[in-house]
Amino acid sequence: MKFLKILVFFIAIQMSAQQGGMWIPSLLQGMNENDMQSLGSKLTAADIYSVNASSLKDAVVHFNGGCTAEVISPEGLLLTNHHCGFGQIQSHSSLENDYLKDGFWASTLADELPNNGLYVEFIVRIEDVTQQVLEGVTETMTDREKQSKIGSNSAKIERETKKEDWQGTKIKAFYKGNQYFLFVTERYDDIRLVGAPPSSIGKFGSDTDNWVWPRHTGDFSLFRIYANKQNQPAKYSKDNVPFKPKHFLPIGIDGISEDDFTMVFGFPGTTDEYLPAIAIAQTVEKINPKTIAIREAALKVIDANMKADDQIRIQYASKQARIANAWKKWIGENLGIKKSGAIAKRKDLESEFTKALETKKLLETYGHILPELERLYNAIEETAVKRRMFIEAFTGTSELMQLMFRLTQVENAAMSSDADFERLRTNVLSAMDGLYKNMNLEVDKGIYLAVMPFYTTNIDASIYEKTAFKTLETGKKLLEGTSKEVLEKLNNDAAYQYAKVFVNDFYNNIEPVFRDINPKINALEQQYMKALMMVLPNQRYFPDANGTLRVTYGKVKGYEPRDAVYYEPITYLDGVMEKYVPGDYEFDVPQKLQELYAKKDYGPYADATGKLPVCFIGTNHTTGGNSGSPAIDAYGNLVGLNFDRVWEGTMSDMYYDPEICRNIMVDVRYVLFIIDKYAGAKHLINEMKLVRNKGKK
Ligand code: ARG
Ligand code: GLU
């Protein structure tokens, strides 16, 4: 009987540990630590995050502010996704040295390629500063007064934080502004490209397989952190040396099996797990269909041109990937929200909330929140849709339009001061180099013609002939002179005249409505979060992702995408060969990889049955930004590299369903196999620490 009780208790923890969540690494003690151990982890909270001793967190970095990477050698070697290093790989590529197509492997330190602008950031420590941030903030203040007080308090805390000269600070809001944390950071700016597989491995399956399981992508690339001789951050210099980390991840070469514990440690970007039902409905019914359609139109043009011309393929690689990635995600998200009944379930939660308010006699204090949110979401709907479409049309697709949008900001700056004008002009001029390097005017015109009808009936292809910005030289020339001269020339330019009308409309008619309603929504959502946690205290609440370091954990597990179909949790090299389509732009397989497969020449990287694992899935709750995050086993070894989620679970940013939400990881054995057997870069393997038997002592 007693045993049964313990068993039931144990199963209950295991179940709750499978509910998702992205947790704050400095607060794992207690519930999260117990959860993790119930799932098989042997790690303590202090093994994962500690301020005084080295811990796993010292091996994890925010990669260029968008992805995650981890240190995997005492020489500062960094592992991240191929798609996270994609922009850098592209920037070093040309028709002669096509690293996108053929891959790149530095054979010595001297061959590693510097990357202007690329940086990584470590988290030195995390502190709860809620009290100090909210000091003097009172209920009677207006939202604007509150924000201003929070701002000045935060600035004061950052000024007074004890830190080294080379360290930085930031304060971030959690639980919709009910809690605040301070992060002391350390940023390194000399990050060099060390290795990347060809896209036929690193991007195998491309858009067809993106967001989809079963998956067979070797989505990884290697970089290295360089530091000055004191091991401190420094701008790029020939004299910099490989960085010596406080901790690097050993690699668990035994890999994983089904049901093994895994945790994913990284920098998830944004989630909206506590949105009211009305807001989910708005995203799914009003916003997603439009953004999907506009991107589909842009992609049609880009894809056709990339296939037809290698130069364009290289130029548009990153842009295409960025546009296609969210496009496909939104399609999956809409399907998932429908299939999981997320909106109805969120409505159930809302009724439960209202009932609890009733029971606890709190209707008077909090009863207005949901109806008021409903009213505000309805009020903002039209504006929200238009605003999103403006962003797509004028900042995310046609680059001529994007440039014109930036130039309107130069004009605005000129209104305020010559110094502001000068600063923005310099910014635009330097951005133009990169823009024109990767733009083809005919392709851009095609994109413009495809995209603009989703925004307006006023289409004018002739602006592409008339504008000075059809070449870099004439564009730069136009921007020469005093602010008065530049503004005059700009306002005579056909493309500028065209775009300015829409930009003005945006600032005069769209933004003001948005800026009026949106802060009200935010303020109410903060109250809602607070009230939810108070009146339904038995639910588990984790803070929405906000680009800060988080831990999520679960198990290696398959799932049932639909009736009578079960997806196994691990894929193998055999599956790569099953998908192989000779010469195909998505599913070609390099000759060398075919040979290794034919000979089963897997070195020490095959599993116990002699097969080579490629990818696996787990119940870790991840989102965009978790790309490149390490998947860590029960003993603190690296066993995989997070890079995606499964199609049926892409709605997890708004509604996490543990039955069908899975994250996708590259198996570290595949990474090692590609580095060693495919690329012959044994020297990189030698830098790492490979452990067998989980490194158990
Ligand atoms: N879906 C993954 C993520 O959200 C991978 C994207 C890279 N692959 C691609 N085909 N765009 O970033
Ligand atoms: N590929 C995503 C990224 O770049 C991670 C996948 C996801 O959104 O879960 O961060």
DSSP per-residue codes, 5-37: HHHHHHHHHHHHHTS---B-GGG-TTHHHHHHH
Q: Is the CB of 324 under 6 A from ligand 1?
A: yes
513, part of any domain: yes
Q: Is the CB of 624 under 6 A from ligand 1?
A: yes
343, part of any domain: yes
DSSP E strand boundaries for 343-393: none
- At 86-109, the pLDDT tens digits run 999 999 999 999 999 999 999 999
- At 150-183, the pLDDT tens digits run 999 999 999 999 999 999 999 999 999 999 999 9
Whether residues 241 and 354 share a domain: the answer is no
Q: Is the CB of 411 under 6 A from ligand 1?
A: no
Whether residues 352 and 489 share a domain: the answer is yes
When pLDDT is averaged across residues 373-394 and rounded to a whole number, the result is 98
Measured in angstroms, how far is the CA atom of residue 83 from the centroid of ligand 1? Answer: 7
Locate the ligand 1 atom nearest the alpha carbon of residue 325 and give its number. Answer: 11
For residue 4, give the amino acid letter.
L
Residue 585: how many CA atoms within 13 Å on its side-chain side? 12
pLDDT (0 to 100) of residue 666? 98
Whether residues 241 and 294 share a domain: the answer is no
Locate the ligand 2 atom nearest the alpha carbon of residue 83 and give its number. Answer: 4
Q: Is the CB of 624 under 6 A from ligand 2?
A: yes
Hey, is 154 helix, strand or coil?
helix
- At 653-667, the pLDDT tens digits run 999 999 999 999 999
Whether residues 282 and 232 share a domain: the answer is no
Whether residues 282 and 240 share a domain: the answer is no
Whether residues 235 and 286 share a domain: the answer is no
Distance, in Å, from the CA atom of 671 to the CA atom of 674, rounded to the nearest integer, reads 5
pLDDT (0 to 100) of residue 520? 96
Among residues 485, 508, 534, the one where a domain terminates is 534
Based on the structure, what is the number of domains in the chain? 2
pLDDT (0 to 100) of residue 696? 60
Measured in angstroms, how far is the CA atom of residue 88 from the centroid of ligand 2? Answer: 18
Q: How confident is the model at residue 13 (pLDDT cuts 50, 70, 90)?
A: low
Q: How confident is the model at residue 6 (pLDDT cuts 50, 70, 90)?
A: low
Whether residues 428 and 379 share a domain: the answer is yes
DSSP of 548-564: S-EEEEEEB--EEEETT
- At 587-632, the pLDDT tens digits run 999 999 999 999 999 999 999 999 999 999 999 999 999 999 999 9
26, part of any domain: no
Among residues 508, 534, 560, the one where a domain terminates is 534
pLDDT (0 to 100) of residue 3? 57
Among residues 499, 518, 534, the one where a domain terminates is 534
Whether residues 314 and 169 share a domain: the answer is no
What residue numbers bound the domain in which 503 lies? Answer: 277-534
When pLDDT is averaged across residues 569-593 and rounded to a whole number, the result is 98
User: Within 10 Å of residue 682's Cβ, how many Cβ atoms?
Assistant: 12
pLDDT (0 to 100) of residue 697? 44
Query: Tokens 């697709």 label which residue?
Result: 397
Q: Which ligand is nearest to the CA of 324?
A: 1
Whether residues 354 and 464 share a domain: the answer is yes
pLDDT (0 to 100) of residue 8? 58
Positions marked catalytic: 83, 219, 627
Whether residues 55 and 122 share a domain: the answer is yes
Output Rg (C-alpha) for the chain, integer angstroms.
26
Buried b (16+ CB within 10 A) or exposed e, 105-135: bbeeeeebebbeebbbbbbbbbbebbebbbe
| Dihedral pair phi/psi, residue 130, rounded to 5° | -55, -50
169, part of any domain: yes
Share of the chain above pLDDT 90, in %: 96
Q: Is the CB of 317 under 6 A from ligand 1?
A: no
Residues counted in the chain: 697
- The answer to whether residues 666 and 614 touch, using CB atoms and an 8 Å cutoff, is yes
**pLDDT for residue 16 is more than 80:** no
- At 359-381, the pLDDT tens digits run 999 999 999 999 999 999 999 99
Q: Is pTM beyond 0.75 here?
A: yes
Whether residues 145 and 56 share a domain: the answer is yes
Whether residues 361 and 502 share a domain: the answer is yes
DSSP structure class, residue 80: E
**pLDDT for residue 4 is more than 90:** no
Distance, in Å, from the CA atom of 523 to the CA atom of 143, rounded to the nearest integer, reads 7
User: Within 10 Å of residue 434's Cβ, how many Cβ atoms?
Assistant: 13
